[in-house]
Amino acid sequence: MVQIAVFGVGCIGQEHIRNLLILASPTRQDGGLARIHSIADPDEGSRVAAAPLLPSDCKVFSDHRELLLDPSASSIDAIIVATPNFNHIDVLRDIFKLSKAHLLIEKPLCTTVEDCLAVTTLMDESNDAPDPRLGRRVVWVGMEYRFIPSIARLIDEADRGTAGKAHMLSIREHRFPFLAKVGQWNRFNATSGGTLVEKCCHFFDLMRRILGSDPVKVIASGGGGVNHRGEGHADGRGDPDILDHAFVIVEFASGARALLDLCMFAENSRHQEELCLVGDKGKIEAFGAAHGESPDAPPRPNFRVGLRPP
């Protein structure tokens, strides 16, 4: 059974815990695949909120370093990092120094290019001498939009060449504003990395995955016109400075182009995400259900292929 620790148990960390509990269920045919060994979070409110979800033998820490130094930490197989974006780099440095566990890191990896490169260096160095029990360390950034069923199907059809050579990819997300987080860290560029990092790294990842090419040019325009205006913060940070809408055009080495259309004050959209891939043989469309809705019913299909006449 895989022993897992969770660093950061706010709303996303709690979502990971719920998923782990499904894997841990003794009623599964395999008897359970995972066990939540421990959690760590410096915020008391988050620890209290997560407590009802935790198994009785789960160890609870207010400092991730204390968890890593606990004698039982040697049995941890994997760590999920779901802390605020801005402290990923410090948490990861401690993990690479004190543990050989595999890693699932919530997106984005870090808030700056420099910190991301530092993590890749630490990862390579940690695998110079793989752990005898765990082997080479696996480091995975959680780009879960790849696994939304309709989007996963689009990726599969793109790989099959159903639409032919890809020329255009458009991704539209019209959704609700950012949720409230501890200290509202997700509403400021300095702590979140900015909206196009915190939220839209999903879509830039999808562009590269679907088109199978690397970007060579980016053109972007955005603003913060509606959300969190006049909100203010007593700690001196003032109003949030993140974008709430943007257009981004990305040109790829293959000659393909992609467009992101983002609006975070459009709660009443029929589909929260809409993807359209156009190739020389036709187009493929995938749609994501609006937040909180049940999966699309047959009268509202979430996937469509339209081929050009032969």
68-103 tens-digit pLDDT: 999 999 999 999 999 999 999 999 999 999 999 999
Q: Are 60 and 24 in contact (CB under 8 A)?
A: no
Q: Are 286 and 206 in contact (CB under 8 A)?
A: no
- pTM recorded for the entire structure: 0.92
Question: Over the range 104-134, which residues count as b (16 or more CB within 10 Å of their CB) and which as e?
Answer: bbbbbbbbeeebbebbeebbeebeeeeeeee
In this prediction, residue 235 carries a pLDDT of 73
Q: Among residues 222, 217, 224, which one has the least CA distance to residue 240?
A: 224
Q: What is the pLDDT of residues 36-73, one digit of tens each?
A: 999 999 999 999 999 999 999 999 999 999 999 999 99
